[in-house]
Amino acid sequence: MNAPTTAARRTAANRAGLVGFALTALLGILWAFASPIFSVPDENAHATKAIAQVRGQVIGAEVDGVLHLVVRLPAEYRYDPALLCYVDDENRSADCGVSLGDEGGQDWFNTWTGAYNPVYYALVGWPSLLIGGDAGVIAMRVVSALLGALFVGAAFQLAMAGTRARWMPLALAFSALPMCVYLMGSVNPNGLEIAASVALWVGVLRLFEAHGDDPGPVFSRTWMWVVVTLASAALVTARALGPLWLVVIVAIAALAVGWAPVRRLFTTARSYVWLAIIAVSGLFSLGWTFVGGSLSSQAREGDAPLVGAGFLEGVVYMLRLTDELLQQAIGEFGWLDAILPAWALWSVAAVVGAIVFLAVGSASRRDAVVVSVAIAACVVVPVLVQARSVGQTGIIWQGRYGLFLYLGALIVICRLLSVRPADRIARLSVRYTWLGAVLLSAFGAYAFLFVMYRYVVGLDDRITEMVLAPEWQPPGGWPLLVALYALASAAFAVFVGRLGVAAARLDSGGAAAGQPAVDDATDADAPGSARA
């Protein structure tokens, strides 16, 4: 790659990172304002832990007669169970709830996350020291959204930094699925886990490429190691299974790129400085899990399905849940009480199906194995992990826990498409990216409106009642938030579409000449470049 083309790719990658961060942050922040307080799954447990931890209660206290660890709350965060009066009743608006800090609330909360790894809670809990009540929770959500957006922005940057990136913008369009940014814009480590995993999938793939025979990404290995190390640290400390997720991601990425670059990475002395930092983060996470008491305790019969059951029973049960888990990951919000209609999910399914069929239909034998393994992992990993602990916990897996796998499989598949030399595959990238981005963004805007509908009036009322007789309103009012989300979604679609054009143009070597990508995209394996 000549110097002008290298500079053009680096500029495009930096711009993609900044714009990707800004738009993802905006989408997450809009969800932070739109979601009723503690309407996100387990947010009451995570938020109260964060509030207590930044005030010195790193682990809650055991109290006789109380099932979970207890944390003490300041007056402005007094908790009343009536906050969640609308949960499990999709026809009841959020208007019945009281505010956090209400005088009738209790100054303690028995949180089931009391002994969880403290890193995430330290990162997002500090705004509660400055702002109280509902506003304090929203402020923590905003911080969480910004943290997640940083990792997504880094993923966009590194995705565009590779010498083959035609299909990568489409892969990363899925990182702004409404469930992803919804969780990022909440007080729940699941959101940071998803965002960090996206950066890690892209970062590890690019880092392996930088140790390969072909010209690698235009950024230095040092910068890629910084992204991979920070993403790894965030992932392994977000939840107890984080270290396992790190191993899964590295293993599948290694399979995707082949043995030679993997061997070179692990035989390069400089790599071990970064690997040591990652190892320390992983060991800290494992140590906290096993010594700090954050492992799940024995559930009681009736707490969840199959408590006390065996491994094989868990496997069979989880396999039967596969389609339901996929639906949960895409379209079941709140405490699984804001469920999008099935027809709305077909837009996402259509884009995923098109990518997978295109990849499988044009794959070499080795690539077909990689695609098969990536897809199989989306099913097998949750099954094995949940079946292993089913006797202790029962079936507690939810679809959102697998988002790091679903997004990763798409990233791996789109990376394989990007390195294909087939002319027809190269020519399709721009059209597929534009169409996919529009469908996904339209789905996101619809999901936002639907969730607002559920909380503003309840699903038993006509949607027109949102305008005629709204019962609950988020800060700023639902019309403003819906309008902003629609605009942000449209902007994200344009961003991804234009990124697809830029990636195709750069991959085909036409950046300097300014030729349209679809006219100059005859070879996805265009002449390479020297590393920066």
Count of other CB atoms within 10 angstroms of residue 93: 24
Identify which of 26, 21, 47 has the alpha carbon closest to the alpha carbon of residue 36.
47
Please say if the pLDDT value at position 530 is more than 80: no
Q: What is the DSSP letter of 218?
A: S
Mean pLDDT of the chain: 91
What pLDDT is stored for residue 302 in this prediction? 77
Distance CA 302, CA 299 (A): 8
Q: Per-residue pLDDT averaged across 328-353, rounded?
A: 96
The tens digit of pLDDT for each residue in 168-208 reads 999 999 999 999 999 999 999 999 999 999 999 999 999 99
Could you tell me the pLDDT band of residue 514, with boundaries at 50, 70 and 90?
very low
Distance CA 84, CA 80 (A): 9
Two structure tokens written together for 193: 């886990």
Q: CB–CB of 54/80 below 8 Å?
A: no
Could you tell me the pLDDT band of residue 296, with boundaries at 50, 70 and 90?
low
Q: CB–CB of 205/258 below 8 Å?
A: no
Q: Per-residue pLDDT averaged across 103-126, rounded?
A: 94
Q: Per-residue pLDDT averaged across 454-468, rounded?
A: 96
The per-residue DSSP string of 296-341 comes to: PPPPPTTSSTTTT--HHHHHHHHHHTHHHHHHHHHHEETTTTEEPP
What pLDDT is stored for residue 4 in this prediction? 62
What pLDDT is stored for residue 421 in this prediction? 64
The tens digit of pLDDT for each residue in 244-263 reads 999 999 999 999 999 999 99
Identify the bridge partners of residue 71 per DSSP, sorted by sequence position.
Answer: 109
CA 280 vs. chain centroid, Å, equals: 24
Distance CA 65, CA 501 (A): 61
Identify the three-state secondary structure at position 108. strand
Please say if the pLDDT value at position 291 is more than 80: yes
Could you tell me the pLDDT band of residue 512, with boundaries at 50, 70 and 90?
very low
Measure Cα distances from 322 to 80, 327, 357 in Å: 36, 9, 20
Q: What is the pTM of this model?
A: 0.93
The tens digit of pLDDT for each residue in 411-446 reads 999 999 998 765 668 889 999 999 999 999 999 999
The tens digit of pLDDT for each residue in 29-41 reads 999 999 999 999 9
Q: Per-residue pLDDT averaged across 13-34, rounded?
A: 98
What pLDDT is stored for residue 283 in this prediction? 97
Q: CB–CB of 371/416 below 8 Å?
A: yes
The tens digit of pLDDT for each residue in 151-163 reads 999 999 999 999 8
Q: CB–CB of 231/375 below 8 Å?
A: no
Distance CA 236, CA 278 (A): 9
Please say if the pLDDT value at position 511 is more than 80: no
Could you tell me the pLDDT band of residue 280, with boundaries at 50, 70 and 90?
very high
Two structure tokens written together for 44: 């009451």
What pLDDT is stored for residue 337 in this prediction? 94
Two structure tokens written together for 503: 């990636």
Handedness of CA 116, 118, 120, 122 (dihedral sign): positive
Query: What residue ranges in 157-290 does DSSP mark as E strands?
Result: none
Q: CB–CB of 118/53 below 8 Å?
A: yes
Identify the three-state secondary structure at position 1. coil
Q: Per-residue pLDDT averaged across 162-167, rounded?
A: 91
Identify the bridge partners of residue 333 per DSSP, sorted by sequence position.
Answer: 338
384: left (phi over 0), alpha (psi -120 to 50) or beta: alpha
Distance CA 122, CA 515 (A): 49
CA 413 vs. chain centroid, Å, equals: 17
Q: Per-residue pLDDT averaged across 131-150, rounded?
A: 97
Pick the more confident residue, 120 or 363.
120
What pLDDT is stored for residue 526 in this prediction? 33
Angle of CA points 156, 157, 160, to nearest 5°? 85
Could you tell me the pLDDT band of residue 508, with boundaries at 50, 70 and 90?
confident
* Sequence spans of domains, the chain: 3-520
What pLDDT is stored for residue 380 in this prediction? 97
